[in-house]
Amino acid sequence: MKSRSVIKLLHQVDEWYVQCARATALPAGEWQTSGNGTFTYTEEDSQTDRSAGRLGGRPAVWTISEIVSNRALLAEGAAMKHCVVSYARRCARGDISIWSLQVNRFGQPRHVLTIAVDNNKAEITQTRGRFNAHQDSELASAAIAPDDGSRPHGRLNHTDRDFLLRAYRVMRFWARKEGLTYRENG
């Protein structure tokens, strides 16, 4: 960040996303699944507040599904504001698989976490939320955008942060079910 303003740095990041999407010569449109299963988890709790897993009195329904096409990788990257599309070649070769963890909020799915799995090692190698947010950085960060719609570029609001932190618990349930290992700072 030396000799760059925050605004200039954010502009350069935006340009990088565009270059990443253009520069990635994408392989065939779809590829084989990894063999790991999709996952659905419903948070049930007697309390009705957001932190207990209920959204306006409704249970939170979490899903984890594998991304098996270029189009879906691009959509995940656009929704999450990160460049997951750069993994397309490795997905097509079967080296890794990319998974989207979403929560259904009032009938509207919300992208929360992107998960990379090394298929050869059966290991979760990377996890990222919106704007490449990670559980460790979010727990340590006091920089949270307000929920009033005035979110500064690249910062999570309270709802996104809450969902991200809860998503890691859901991911660990899925990893256990599928026999995947996960290092906490992955």
Going by C-alpha positions, the residue among 28, 65, 66, 59 that lies closest to residue 45 is 59
Q: Which two tokens stand for residue 49?
A: 């507040």
Residue 113: name the closest of 160, 180, 155, 54 by CA: 160
Scanning the structure block, which residue is given the tokens 């727990």? 139
**Residue ranges of the chain whose pLDDT lies below 70:** 1-4, 9, 11, 14-28, 45-57, 136-154, 184-186
Domain boundaries, the chain: 6-182
Residue 146 per-residue DSSP state: -
Residue found by looking up tokens 């999407």 in the block: 21
Instruction: Give the model confidence (pLDDT) of 131-163 as tens digits.
Output: 888 876 655 454 455 555 544 556 788 888 889
* pLDDT for position 136: 67
* Helix boundaries (H) for the chain: 6-23, 70-80, 88-93, 135-140, 158-178
pTM greater than 0.95:
no
pLDDT of residue 135: 74
Angle at 37 between CA 73 and CA 83, to 5 degrees: 20
